[in-house]
Structure 1
């Protein structure tokens, strides 16, 4: 056997074979273009179907302005604005407020957004066929949904907690409608409010109309949280720019008018809440004054009546100049005390006693009360009648001053409240554009196609990485330590003929003799001629070549038959033997029968292997075997009709092929055949499928292993070579068969050129 493979450089095997070859990946993708195209078309189909399945989406937008504060109070003067604390708001804070349930709940209730109508008769295919499905319309008057059998209209639908988010079915009946949830059935009439009592609570409903032909309509009452969450998922509130105070609101939906209506109601609800909040403090102050004015008025009237009664009883009292001064000062102090107490009462409405403004007022009250106490002590020294006169006149003046001041502020605040407009104003209300923003069908088609192509490319790469097929001759040599003695390109003409099962002859010499494949077989012949000794084993005439493979379907029979044919061109006697007694099909290459072959020869009872002679029927005896040979070989070796080529088919399928090869009869057969042929080509079973090749290799001068390009698994090939080595059998060469030429094949430079007439 040839041992040159032992001298291969070990450096190649020590290279980093695990590195990712980008060019190899690129070529793998190009080779898998059919898979990629298939998935791209699938992606495009899905994109087209999705574009028809989803309803168009419309968008409505509006603008509001958030001012820093309101100018309503300050415009009326300092005296009134001092009663109301300044207000400020930021647009981002207001944007979050707009999305709150405080703003959205009035909109949900007004437009009946918690009521959901659905048409269960519309399926996935209907959505694809129609390209657009009718959606429900919500108005303050109720909810409606258009179907192919008419409209469904419901003006009222309220349920108990147990029925929330539970689906009911509405159908038209002879007398009205039937409402069912699978457990309870309620019968009612159109345009009439009904209150039904069910298992889980009460149901209040008013149905205006339903489709004909008993067309069912599904209806359910959503919880407030779900309804507001749905609105928020379609609502966008964003401030334009930074610190501009301009807030853009947008609403998306499958119905342009519905989206505009909901957005408009949200804006109006926010503006109403904003205006109410802006006048909230003014309203509270007015309510406080309204409770105090009647009390102060009664107190003033009581003090005036008491003072008048004193004057009528005692007449007019001349108060001295000192008493008048004390009286005036005391009255002024009382007026200040009243104002401070009023301000304190207002402040304590919003703040605690620890607030700095409240503490300041308390300090002022302490000083004024101290001064008042000193004046009272001074007045106490006056005569009794004068003291009583001063006291009554002082009470009357103080009560009058307090009453008039409170009445004045009350009237001013009423004017202020009437002029307050809040700090948010509407710039643009939503309008209907009827321009769908989604789906963008061309974009969906492109993206779906790209995603499909990407998925196909990933699958191709995964297949290429996980299924490491045989491609690179250098890599095969590095992995196995066995040289690649031939790369046989695919014959396009032969590939086309193989599709015709009735093709009589498939040898390259007769159908594609100018092909690269045929030239590669001839190159293999040359390699073998110079690589084998002048004489066969033990000085015998024949040189035995064993052709095997790592697995079925690699093309070993194709190589064996064509290699036999090119050896016969040298005017050498060649025998080709189909030693695959299980599934051999070499007889089809020569359009012959598999009968009377190797298995039959090994299975027969031989009385004497040296004394019997061939049959006297010389017309059936190959020329290569003389008449002195053993007669029982005559019926097992057949002429092929091709000069210098005899064929020994596989014969009938035996039960124990490996045992037949090992029982000694095959040794005797090879001994006799070696005397009459120049070359014997043995087509053996695959190494990984049977052990026959290891037995047959004992008689071979050259052992060649065939592997199929881009199909055989690299690991299986390496394992098959290792199995042969473990049996002390040296594989002399590897034949890379069915190599495909083209730009997508990285290693096509091994066989890219042909010399001569190649048409």
Structure 2
């Protein structure tokens, strides 16, 4: 059998259309869940904020000093040789040096950072108690192994086999002079003396340890770990944050965080010391190279000075020349300066070429200045040639003496400076600010943690609520209901608080009339059913019989509530109505009228009773009622029998409306059997619970037996701030095991 096409019921994704009103709806619907999740996350955040281990932060400031460059020094004879080693490095280069393995590895070795010792604390709260509450647990047997205060030990040496690297050793304090070391907390271990290097033999190899001091109660345990030296260096490099304080300031800030404020201070100050020390070492090494070069040149310079003086004296005596003319003196002074400058520049160039390549900027600058000095000498040489021959010669000899003397004296002075550099007393970096013991931790930041935990908790709670709605929530939008099923919504029945009270009585099996039409006849839900009564009359005009079936996709949709009260509303309008409880498995319509099951539909179909016995006439004026009767073991077979169809035919001729409360469609096949005989079928959808996919599948099954679903009754509608998005969004039907028991009717 074919059934109508589903083009208009095609499931569409409208995720992008979820707006603020939809989100607000979800929040209001799940406000309890949202409050619970948010409170839980805030509680976790508060526990961390107030009980978490504090983390301290400290820093040191390092200045890179700016000195004269070699080009400027070249203006004097040989210049200040120390300036040749004070070329200011870039901040980026010094940042790399400050965080280099050279500096960090020395710090790790000096501070023994690859050895960590931690007192055993009681789980979760031990650290907090030690920091805030004066408590002595040594008198309590089960607690005496834990540290409750500022207990500490100082392990200055620890060497273990490779297999025990990163393994935890347990050190138990016997007294302030002895201790017990074990590979774990349960082994016997070895006894050692404080202040003495001990070597113990283990199954994995020898363990060497030196405990310098103990500050602890007897019996307290400490966890001792020997870490990999390389891993420790790399980890410290990752944690150390180095930045320049301001642009081109030449001041670097090195920042570090640690749980131990005293240890943090020691580490940072050691880093500063090692950084300055390596800078001095580097300059001392450079100075030693230059010193060796100048010492090798000094004898030759002395010989050249002596030879120049001898030549000058001999020439004067031979020619009887006492002094030079004024012009010759001027030329001599200028040429001597030029010769001295050229000699200085060439000496500096030769020394720098021992450390840098010819393309180095400083070397290139010197090369340019040497060319200018030679050009100047050429100009002075032309002036000399215009003078008498004996003056030219004396100028040359005098200039040689002056240049040789200045060069020799300058070299002696620079040798003294290099000796000072070599001794390791001069560098171009210094620690401006050392680290100090921090009293206020930077973590946990209590206000920030609480704020973030509240925000995170709220976000997680809202996400959970939305996920629940999308995954498990039903349709809440009438337009969506009609658009995606292709069925018209004939009635929207609001949620009734009064009916909730009545339903509790039904569950307690209270024997009284529990119809909402009698208890609260002006309830909005009843007004909606009165409106539906009119729509139903028009719908039945085209029907082939007077049988109206009320069913739902799954249990808990409120179909029994609707059937009972709709029958009452129809009867109140003067209709002769027969209400039949066709749910032979879990039907309980009798409880709405304060009746028992007694003889009912099951007995009528089986032929064990007649209509006089089974029909409870005039339960209300104009309303007759047939209960389920005794629950049979074969309900589907009874409903599929010809006797049931005959009963329906007879009732259709006797009553204006025969209203059948049927079992849900998806769990069992009973409704499909009943629908084949009903001319008017309505499906009940429960607000926020029924999935679009369930309605589509239910209609499909009913169509397969030739039934036509007239429309939908939207039950239990709750007034909200907006309209929900509906899920997955429409909840494509999946074959699921429905729990089919007494319905939560409304």
TM over 0.5: yes
Q: Does residue 114 of structure 1 match 2:114?
A: yes
1:376-525 aligned at under 5 Å gives the runs 410-411=415-416, 413-414=418-419, 421-432=426-437, 434-467=439-472, 469-500=474-505, 501-502=507-508, 503=510, 504-525=512-533
CA displacement at 1:107 relative to structure 2: 2.7
SS of 1:584 mapped into structure 2:
coil
How does the TM-score come out when normalised to structure 1?
0.73
Does the C-alpha gap of structure 1 residues 408 and 166 become closer, same or farther in structure 2, counting only changes over 3 Å? same
SS of 1:529 mapped into structure 2:
helix
CA displacement at 1:98 relative to structure 2: 0.8
Distance (Å, rounded) in 1 between the aligned partners of 2:235 and 2:132 = 21
Distance (Å, rounded) in 2 between the aligned partners of 1:88 and 1:70 = 9
Choose the corresponding residue for 2:180, options 178, 182, 194: 178
Distance (Å, rounded) in 2 between the aligned partners of 1:573 and 1:340 = 126
Task: Single out whichever of 573-582 and 48-57 deviates more from structure 2.
Answer: 48-57
Distance (Å, rounded) in 2 between the aligned partners of 1:433 and 1:58 = 7
Is the 1:469–1:710 Cα contact (8 Å) retained in structure 2? yes
Is the 1:191–1:206 Cα contact (8 Å) retained in structure 2? yes
Cα distance per residue 1:470-493 (max 9 Å; x no partner): 222232222233221111101112
Is the 2:39–2:457 Cα contact (8 Å) retained in structure 1? yes
Distance (Å, rounded) in 1 between the aligned partners of 2:79 and 2:165 = 50
Q: Does residue 45 of structure 1 match 2:43?
A: yes
CA displacement at 1:12 relative to structure 2: 9.8
Is the 1:548–1:685 Cα contact (8 Å) retained in structure 2? yes
Does the C-alpha gap of structure 1 residues 416 and 289 become closer, same or farther in structure 2, counting only changes over 3 Å? same
Is the 2:91–2:248 Cα contact (8 Å) retained in structure 1? yes
Does the C-alpha gap of structure 1 residues 9 and 548 become closer, same or farther in structure 2, counting only changes over 3 Å? closer
- Structure 1: give runs of 5+ residues left out of the alignment: 135-144, 301-317, 323-335, 362-399, 606-630, 748-759
Distance (Å, rounded) in 2 between the aligned partners of 1:488 and 1:412 = 101
Distance (Å, rounded) in 1 between the aligned partners of 2:646 and 2:491 = 32
Does the C-alpha gap of structure 1 residues 473 and 296 become closer, same or farther in structure 2, counting only changes over 3 Å? closer
Is the 2:77–2:406 Cα contact (8 Å) retained in structure 1? no
Does the C-alpha gap of structure 1 residues 478 and 319 become closer, same or farther in structure 2, counting only changes over 3 Å? closer
Is the 2:601–2:614 Cα contact (8 Å) retained in structure 1? yes
SS of 1:533 mapped into structure 2:
helix
CA displacement at 1:344 relative to structure 2: 10
Distance (Å, rounded) in 1 between the aligned partners of 2:437 and 2:454 = 33
1:585-604 aligned at under 5 Å gives the runs 585-604=588-607
- Residue 66 of structure 1 aligns with which residue? 64
Is the 1:61–1:250 Cα contact (8 Å) retained in structure 2? yes
Bigger radius of gyration = 1
1:613-652 aligned at under 5 Å gives the runs 632-639=610-617, 641-652=619-630
- Residue 735 of structure 1 aligns with which residue? 713
Is the 1:127–1:133 Cα contact (8 Å) retained in structure 2? no
CA displacement at 1:66 relative to structure 2: 1.1
- Residue 88 of structure 1 aligns with which residue? 88
Cα distance per residue 1:447-494 (max 9 Å; x no partner): 112112212222333333344622222322222332211111011122
1:358-377 aligned at under 5 Å gives the runs none
Distance (Å, rounded) in 2 between the aligned partners of 1:429 and 1:165 = 32
SS of 1:123 mapped into structure 2:
coil
Distance (Å, rounded) in 1 between the aligned partners of 2:315 and 2:125 = 105
Is the 1:178–1:187 Cα contact (8 Å) retained in structure 2? yes
Distance (Å, rounded) in 2 between the aligned partners of 1:131 and 1:320 = 92
1:278-317 aligned at under 5 Å gives the runs 278-286=283-291
CA displacement at 1:219 relative to structure 2: 0.7
- Residue 157 of structure 2 aligns with which residue? 157
CA displacement at 1:740 relative to structure 2: 0.7
Task: Single out whichever of 571-580 and 75-84 deviates more from structure 2.
Answer: 75-84
SS of 2:152 mapped into structure 1:
strand
Distance (Å, rounded) in 1 between the aligned partners of 2:550 and 2:316 = 148
- Residue 397 of structure 1 aligns with which residue? none
Does the C-alpha gap of structure 1 residues 671 and 406 become closer, same or farther in structure 2, counting only changes over 3 Å? closer
Distance (Å, rounded) in 1 between the aligned partners of 2:411 and 2:479 = 106
- Residue 168 of structure 2 aligns with which residue? 167
SS of 2:628 mapped into structure 1:
coil
- Residue 190 of structure 1 aligns with which residue? 194
Cα distance per residue 1:504-528 (max 9 Å; x no partner): 4431122221111010111111222
Task: Single out whichever of 111-120 and 206-215 deviates more from structure 2.
Answer: 206-215
SS of 1:461 mapped into structure 2:
helix
CA displacement at 1:555 relative to structure 2: 0.7
- Residue 310 of structure 1 aligns with which residue? none
Does the C-alpha gap of structure 1 residues 658 and 197 become closer, same or farther in structure 2, counting only changes over 3 Å? closer
SS of 1:220 mapped into structure 2:
strand
CA displacement at 1:154 relative to structure 2: 2.4
Does the C-alpha gap of structure 1 residues 261 and 465 become closer, same or farther in structure 2, counting only changes over 3 Å? same
1:199-238 aligned at under 5 Å gives the runs 199-209=204-214, 211-238=216-243
Task: Single out whichever of 680-689 and 34-43 deviates more from structure 2.
Answer: 34-43
- Residue 400 of structure 2 aligns with which residue? none
Is the 1:70–1:421 Cα contact (8 Å) retained in structure 2? no
Cα distance per residue 1:602-637 (max 9 Å; x no partner): 2246xxxxxxxxxxxxxxxxxxxxxxxxx7222222
- Residue 275 of structure 1 aligns with which residue? 280
Does the C-alpha gap of structure 1 residues 117 and 453 become closer, same or farther in structure 2, counting only changes over 3 Å? same
Distance (Å, rounded) in 1 between the aligned partners of 2:22 and 2:118 = 55
Task: Single out whichever of 92-101 and 67-76 deviates more from structure 2.
Answer: 67-76
- Residue 245 of structure 1 aligns with which residue? 250
SS of 2:644 mapped into structure 1:
helix
- Residue 20 of structure 1 aligns with which residue? 17
